[in-house]
Structure 1
Amino acid sequence: MSRPPIPADCLQPAPAEELAVHSADGTRLHVEVHGQPGAPTVVLAHGWTCSTHFWAPVIHRLADRYRVVVYDQRGHGRSEIPPSRARYSTRALAEDLSAVVTRVVPEGGRAVLAGHSMGGMTVMAGAARPEVAERTAAAVLISTGAAELIGEVRVVPDAVRSPKLRRFLHRQILRSRLPLGPVGPVSRAGLKYAIMGPSSPAERTEVAVRMVHACPTGVRANWARVLDGLDVRPGLARLTAPTAVVVGAEDRLTPPALAHRMVAVLADPQGLLLLPGVGHMAPIERPAEIAAEIDRMATTHLSGPRAVAAEAPATADSERTAVA
């Protein structure tokens, strides 16, 4: 069976600059800078089992007028794999973000931070750090949650009614150390069910599936352990920058209930954008709307240019809930 072709916007663009940034514990992080030197800066943090490649569709839509910075979370992509479990933690996520932001945003400057899934958790974990807070003009939290993930995951079919059993099964799936091996029909179908919307095109599903398969088994499992016990609510409560939240209506990993909980405690909420038919991988599934939401926040809070002025900030079937 032939693989679906990769959409043109999902092909990773060549960066204008590549950097090696070292975190507080010495872990080397791979950082890429795209777009226009001197333009307003946007920093994008990807999620669990992904890489800088994940943001390609969004980079293509922002790089004509923004300086777009992406980096591989530790253990992912071209960043260093930590040598021990102790170096996988929300504190490490915060320290990594701090190291990257400090390197790419000069003192006195500010950027829009956008994080998907574990990347959103990274933004929350690092929000209270002075070097991050001082450089954050606004934030966009995409397909993410602050705590109690296992209780909300919806991968196990609804036919399993026992909450205790559902939690057990979800924990086993999340922490599995089984190697995924080559992409095949079974893994493709299973991952599409778990991470994509039901009507997501085969080509975009293929991009997401290949990325997940490329993540080393040990890295996947070690981060799963962190996500299992995740609680970055203290950081969320201290996130004072204007913050928008985005979630797919069909997100099985971080369902809309988690998004509503985040909005309820944000210091300066800027609305909740619900994307009908979209699963967990919103920036791959609906990159135009994700780019437009980042652009909206940058235009409003960073005095930046409109990067995607020709594109509506939300399609007709999307729903943005304004928050007073």
Structure 2
Amino acid sequence: MSRTSRTLTAVSADGSPIHVEVYGPDSAPAVVLAHGWTCSTLFWAAQIRELAGDHRVVVYDQRGHGRTAFAAVGTEALADDLEAVLGAVLAPGEKALLAGHSMGGMTVMAAAGRPAFAEHAAAVLLCSTGSSRLVDESLLLPMRAGRLRTRITRMVLGARAPLGPVTRVSKRILKYATMGPDSAPERVAECARIVHACPRPSRVAWARVLAELDLDAGVRELRVPTIVVAGTADRLTPVVHARRLAAELPDCRELVELAGIGHMTPVEAPEAVTAKIRELVAAFVNKKEEAA
């Protein structure tokens, strides 16, 4: 990962401190990246490496992840935290690209319609995410869809058992659940280190939030140009979610389906995700700056 330009603390609406890292030139166009469930700022390492030379890349740890302490959970808290980050790193009226993976995409949806979102969001990239019915439509278990599969999936995702150390077996399980069948071993290991570092209380608490997720109204409020990216081999948020988002978003510019890629799209297909970030920045963030 590139050398950190600076770190700072954003303070959320309930007083929770949010760990934030900023990479790249202060004068460059801004990109704000929100990671997913059980991950951390480390998840965006490939994007930071490729973008920080000519972008101001902002990453932060969601509450209960990485270096942000655990606090009350819920979609409103996710939106509060993103608002706090935007206020801490962007000047009044400054526009940025907002990109979210999985729960990070849900964060963006939860914040859509808020004043800070309208003030700062020039465009959005949604990766491997959905707005509702996450457990019902999960393909984690090779069973027929129905109440039994939903109940067992809910139990698996919310299990209180510790993940323990990263082992050959745990990497195989993580790869099956979250990555495509052809994922490179080093990328599987990278994701395993990140996921296993997530504290158990946070993992369990956020699993319960995601199981009850309903952000369909937030999708309709997300009125800026948006690209949706999904892996066709995603078991956690199958491609049906991406297709639904693309159909319901007010301004969806493109649906990108990555063949054979699983849930961890920014790590599994970093070139494709980074290219879409660059594309949106060039079209909408730079355009806003030139107009100003």
Which category describes the TM-score, using the shorter chain as reference length? Answer: over 0.9
Q: Is the 8 A contact 1:102 1:132 kept in 2?
A: no
2:143 aligned with 1:143: no
Structure 1 position 102 matched with structure 2 position 91: no
Q: TM-score, normalization: structure 2? A: 0.97
**Equivalent residue for 1:123, pick from 102, 108, 124:** 108
Identity %: 50
Q: In the alignment, residue 152 of structure 1 is paired with which amino acid? A: E
The answer to whether the Cα contact below 8 Å between 2:136 and 2:145 also exists between their aligned partners in 1 is no
The answer as to whether partners of 1:109 and 1:135 remain within 8 angstroms in 2 is yes
How much does 1:79 deviate? 0.7
How many Å apart are 1:161 and its aligned residue? 2.3
Deviation, 1:134, is: 1.4
Tell me if the contact between 2:40 and 2:194 (Cα under 8 Å) persists in the aligned partners: yes
Match of 1:81 among 56, 65, 70: 70
Deviation (angstroms), 1:168? 1.0
The aligned amino acid for 1:198 is: P
1:49 aligns with 2:33: no
Contact 2:137/2:145, CA 8 A, preserved across alignment = no
Query: Among 75, 81, 101, which residue is 1:90 paired with?
Result: 75
Report runs of 4+ in structure 1 exceeding 4 Å deviation. Answer: none
Which of 16, 20, 34 does residue 27 from structure 1 map onto?
Answer: 16
| Paired residues for 1:134-213 under 5 Å | 134-157=119-142, 160-161=143-144, 163-213=146-196
Alpha-carbon deviation of 1:50?
Answer: 0.3
Q: Which one-letter code corresponds to 1:50 in the other structure?
A: C
Q: CA RMSD in A?
A: 0.9
- The aligned residue for residue 263 of structure 1 is 246
Cα distance between partner residues in 2 of 1:278 and 1:162: 22
Partner of 2:290: none
The structural deviation recorded for 1:162 is 5.3
- Alignment size in residue pairs: 287
Structure 1 segments unaligned to the other structure (5+ residues):
1-11, 305-324
CA–CA separation in structure 1 for the residues paired with 2:46 and 2:207 = 26
Deviation of residue 37 (structure 1)?
1.4
Supply the distance in 2 between the matched residues of 1:71 and 1:224 (Cα, whole angstroms): 20
SS in 1 for 2:136: helix
Provide, for residues 107-161 of structure 1, a one-character-per-residue CA deviation record: whole Å limited to 9, x for no partner. Answer: 121000000000000000001111122110000000000001011111101xx22
**C-alpha separation between the residues in 2 aligned to 1:217 and 1:225?**
13
Equivalent-residue separation in structure 2 for 1:162 and 1:23 (angstroms): 39
Q: Which runs of 5+ in 2 are unaligned?
A: 288-292
The letter of the residue matching 2:92 is E
State the shift of 1:185 in Å.
2.1
- CA displacement, residues 215-250 of structure 1 (integer Å, 9 cap, x when unaligned): 000100000000000011111110111110000010
Q: 2-side partners of 1:179 and 1:289: how far apart?
A: 33
